[in-house]
Amino acid sequence: MCQIAIYPGTFDPVTYGHIDIIKRAQEVFSEVIVAVAHNPHKKPLFDVGERVALLKKATKDFKSVEVCDFNGLVVDFAHKRKAKVLIRGLRMLSDFEYEFQMALTNRKISPDIETIFMMPQESYSYLSSKLLKEVASMGADISSFVPDFVEAALKSKLGK
């Protein structure tokens, strides 16, 4: 274990699926940097500071995990942080095409950075932040998908 890995994403909001990948990644890599993308094109519900704060709280007991935000290309951020590995989560087959395209683009831009795909536990394999926001907006119980503080923040943000 001597590599620094970056787990980039929007994390709007962080779910148990994300947390599962972070937890397992820290067993493989000496340092895991959870990098929260600004990415205004996705029109996130939570601003970047809120997403970073929720992730910091979710990973506060993890040994070798740092949470921060970044702007621009993830491969540029990886170079700045001297990371050689990007971690991408794959839930279902439907994720693969997009993630594969992104990994190949990143490889073309920066051949020295590898992309590693990790899958969450099966119980989280269908979970997405987008779906959670949608069902939470309709008043569904999401307590089995996110930590209680994330659920509270989401309900507050949605006015529920």
Catalytic machinery residues: 18, 42, 91, 129
Strands 85-89 and 65-70: unpaired
In total, the chain counts a number of residues equal to: 160
Characterize 136-146 residue by residue with b for buried, 16 or more Cβ atoms within 10 angstroms of its Cβ, and e for exposed: beeeeebeebb
Q: Which helix (H) or strand (E) holds 65?
A: strand 65-70
Given a contact cutoff of 8 angstroms between Cβ atoms, the answer to whether 64 and 32 are in contact is: yes
